[in-house]
Amino acid sequence: MARKTATTATNRKNQTQVAPKPASDLIRFEEANVARLGLISVQERIPDSYNSWTVEFHVDGRPARLTCDAVAKYGGVPHGLDGDIATAIIDLYVEAGTTADGTVRTTAYQILRRAGLDTSGRYYQSLLQTLFRLRTTTYTASEAWRDHGRGNWTTATFNYLSELEFTSDDEATELSSGSVLKIRLAEPIVRSIRAQYTKPLDLDFLTSLERPQTRAVYRLLDARRYDPVTPGVLQRTLSVNIIEWAEACKIVDRRSNKIRATLQGAHEELMLRGYLEDVTYEGRGRTQTITYRFVPLDAQATSPLLAALRSYRVSLPVAQKLLTDFGEEHVEARLRKFEALLAGGYKARNRSALLVDVVRDDQDKYADPEEAPLGGGPRKASAAPAYMPTLEEIASEDGSLEERVEATMKTVQFLLRERLSVSEYALLRLALILERLEGAQVTREATRAKREGQLDEFANGLLDALQHVRLQAG
């Protein structure tokens, strides 16, 4: 009986369909060895017996080999949604500052959200199985792992995750939205990321794709577009033998007609979504060649208004959402108001936060600046709010309680790191959920402590507050 992953479009987290972006607009990255080698099968379902695989190929004209050995009780080789989870963990690691020991401190909820997956109950069970597979499966890349620091190809043996620690809300040792995790990435992956052997990652586009298999094929295709030695050069087309491509995708049935059938859905979605221009097959049987032609994204024009927003350090996803939600005419008018405020002498603690707030403002918090005198002197801004929240505060005050809690946890975990244990982070999350501590205040105080070099003192005070919460709850 085939194993299943938690999938189907109706169970995906709601996603706005977005178009793929030019590489020059991407601000996220993934480790290039992992992306290029395709460590995780693109198949959503695998046979019970699929517990290992071996792929032989050539790198720079030399023979290379990649093997995978999994533990049967955890569901066979990594596959399906495992690729989404693995990508999310690496992205969280990069976002947290690429610590030397490869540690990621996060929550189960944050991982599912970053992977673009639904945060309902059964996905936490799927997440736990994925984490066990990534922790126990052993990979060996023989003369196939790029040591970017030395500029050569080496052999590396590793488990995707070298350490896994988490809290549970019950005695069943399962994950839930309240679970706090400490994860350590494999040392070769960490070393590679810190040596900047990475490729751009279009996470918004990736997580908007409907099927796990489409996302897996996209990740592999996007990695193969880049030069393996200098991952900054994009190819316009990619041609590969059908059997070699099945091996790269870790497809079980290597009959050519089955390979085509397995990949058809992913090909159709990627063409529909504007990533692939065309997919063609040439030849017959095992000698067939698949040729992928990519849409030339870098040739697309960039919106001048989008560029203007980004010039004030508004992140790309936020800038795109402003244009989608409010329209170009509204955003352009508010941009003029924002620039007039600055020209009139308004002192913003954070310009990007001010700009976003001016665009979103529907309560006339920002009065129209007076017109500049005919002599061309500086404009004078009329009354504006005396207090402008930081980006961290905006993140903490918007959205549902759970979203505000996760925003606070993300900031505190990033700043405090090892100062709190996994169980203490779990207690912090519980205190925030129960509203015994106020998330925006915790975020402000943590940020201030970082700025003033007093994180140890802040951590001690927070632990005292958590102990008080524990006693109240006890």
Task: Tell me the C-alpha distance between 39 and 154, whole Å.
Answer: 17
Instruction: Of 20-24, 171-175, 343-347, 377-381, give the lowest mean pLDDT range.
Output: 377-381
Provide the mean pLDDT of the chain: 84
What is the mean predicted confidence (pLDDT) over 30-37?
A: 94
The mean-pLDDT minimum among 249-258, 274-283, 330-339, 390-399 falls in 390-399
- Residue-wise pLDDT for 413-467, tens only, equals 888 988 998 888 888 988 888 888 988 889 888 888 888 889 999 999 999 888 8
Question: Residue 161: which of 138, 129, 127, 128 has the closest Cα?
Answer: 138
How far apart are alpha carbons 408 and 394 in whole angstroms?
11
pLDDT at 179 over 80: yes
Reference 77, options 32, 165, 156, 139; nearest CA is 139
pLDDT per residue as tens digits for the range 39-60: 999 999 999 999 999 999 998 8
Confidence bin at 321 (pLDDT 50/70/90) = confident
How many Å apart are CA 175 and CA 127, to the nearest integer? Answer: 8
Residue 434: its pLDDT value, please? 82
Q: Is 463 within 8 Å of 471 (Cβ atoms)? A: no
C-alpha to C-alpha distance for 401 and 433, rounded to whole angstroms: 7
Predicted confidence at residue 315, as pLDDT, reads: 64
Highest mean pLDDT among 91-95, 353-357, 403-407: 91-95
Query: Of all helices (H) and strands (E), which one includes residue 193?
Result: helix 187-194
Query: Is a pLDDT exceeding 60 seen at residue 372?
Result: no
